[in-house]
Amino acid sequence: MTWLITGGAGYIGAHVVRAMTEAGERTVVYDDLSTGVAERIPDGVPLVVGSTLDRALVTRAIAGHGITGVVHLAAKKQVGESVDLPLHYYHENVEGLRVLLEAVVDAGVPSFVFSSSAAVYGAPDGAPGTLVTEDTSCVPMNPYGETKLAGEWLVRAVGRAHGLATASLRYFNVAGAATPELADTGVFNLVPMVFEKLTAGEPPRIFGADYPTPDGTCVRDYIHVVDLAEAHVAAAHRLAASPGTDLTLNIGRGEGVSVREMIDRIAGITGHTLPPTITARRPGDPPSVVASADRIADTLHWKSTHDTHDMITSAWQGWLLRHPTAAGGAAGGAAGGAAGAEGADRAEEADR
């Protein structure tokens, strides 16, 4: 098959392109390069530069490259920005998806994988430690999460109406890198935010240490970007083999890690041992959001293979590639990796 990967020059997107290519699939990247980096795209993979809002260009890309499946990762994804710019987020994330789906249906493309988010769950009910299943009520707390949930509805409805095989993949907290060159270059997620603080010689911050969790700090589920990319390959193969399939799946490890635990792990790897500062809670941070990964294991026979040490180590190596002076921690920090404090990640994925 030939897969169009929208957002394929982003952090997650480039890993998906790499995994799909290694699995023997032909890929074409479609990216407006507003946050993506063209150098991330492997040699021999075509790049179409443009927005998913450009129906004519999308149509030409599908026809010109013989596209038989789409993995849609392109989206705006900063929670705070979505609160300030809801119209922009709905236009880019929902209208952009509608335009893309319209072109997909008209071209008869049979398979569509949608990049969703744990942000659709909002602050799940239940005691800390309760795993979030795909049947947990979805009550997003911000426009970003709303656009992802609306996107799932649209994808599912179009799939049912037109016989399109679909999968909506709900990412939890993404970290790590396959190679230093593919590491996250943004500073919007937990891991790079903590790296930035430590590199500047400043303590990371914990927003609230009085939650009903074992150590009082928020608990989250972290997934290595390489595992995440492999889940996309598994979903793509399932859709290609099973026309009419309709999947909604969590992508996580099913293991909660607290903010304080992540800080300790970062310190052990990077050699930066500045103790964190505790500040007031941020409004809307749920105590614990940890995925149940049973359904994806049963459905796609996929399971994560990387732990937080792998995430921290690989992310730190990528950070050092761009900030070589950051290795000045107590232990030199050459090993690599990250993850952090800066409060609990609000299910914001990295630049796709």
Asked whether 333 and 326 are in contact (CB, 8 A), the reply is yes
| Residue 119 structure tokens | 């942000």
User: What pLDDT digit, counting tens, does each position of 213-242 carry?
Assistant: 999 999 999 999 999 999 999 999 999 999
| Residue 6 structure tokens | 């929208």
Per-position DSSP letters for 80-114, written without gaps between them: HHHHH-HHHHIIIIIIHHHHHHHHHHHHT--EEEE
Domains of the chain from N-terminus onward? 2-174+223-251 (3.40.50.720)
- Region 110-118: mean pLDDT is 97
pLDDT above 50: residue 343: no
Output the average pLDDT for the chain: 90
Task: Please state the pTM of the whole predicted model.
Answer: 0.91
pLDDT bracket for residue 189 (50, 70, 90): confident
Separation of alpha carbons 292 and 290, rounded Å: 7
What single-letter DSSP state applies at residue 272? -
User: What pLDDT digit, counting tens, does each position of 46-88 carry?
Assistant: 999 999 999 999 999 999 999 999 999 999 998 889 999 999 9
What single-letter DSSP state applies at residue 282? P
Closest CA to 349 of 186, 131, 151, 106: 186
Asked whether 334 and 196 are in contact (CB, 8 A), the reply is no
Instruction: Name the residue with higher pLDDT: 349 or 292.
Output: 292
User: What pLDDT digit, counting tens, does each position of 271-318 carry?
Assistant: 888 899 999 987 767 889 999 999 999 999 999 999 999 999 999 999
Separation of alpha carbons 240 and 23, rounded Å: 14
| Residue 226 structure tokens | 């390489």
Q: Catalytic site residues?
A: 144
- Region 142-162: mean pLDDT is 97
b vs e for 282-302, b when ≥16 Cβ sit within 10 Å of the residue's Cβ?
Answer: eeebbbbbbbbbebbeebbeb
Q: What percent of the chain has pLDDT over 70?
A: 92
pLDDT at 37: 95
Backbone angles phi, psi at 167, to 5 degrees: -140, 125
pLDDT above 90: residue 193: no
pLDDT above 50: residue 336: no
- Region 95-119: mean pLDDT is 98
- Cα dihedral 319/324/327/328 (nearest 10): -140
Asked whether 36 and 7 are in contact (CB, 8 A), the reply is yes
Q: What are the E-state strand segments in 123-240?
A: 131-132, 165-171, 173-175, 205-207, 219-224
**How far is CA 50 from each of CA 178, 230, 243, rounded to the nearest angstrom?**
26, 26, 29
Strands 173-175, 219-224: pairing kind:
parallel
| Residue 222 structure tokens | 């972290």
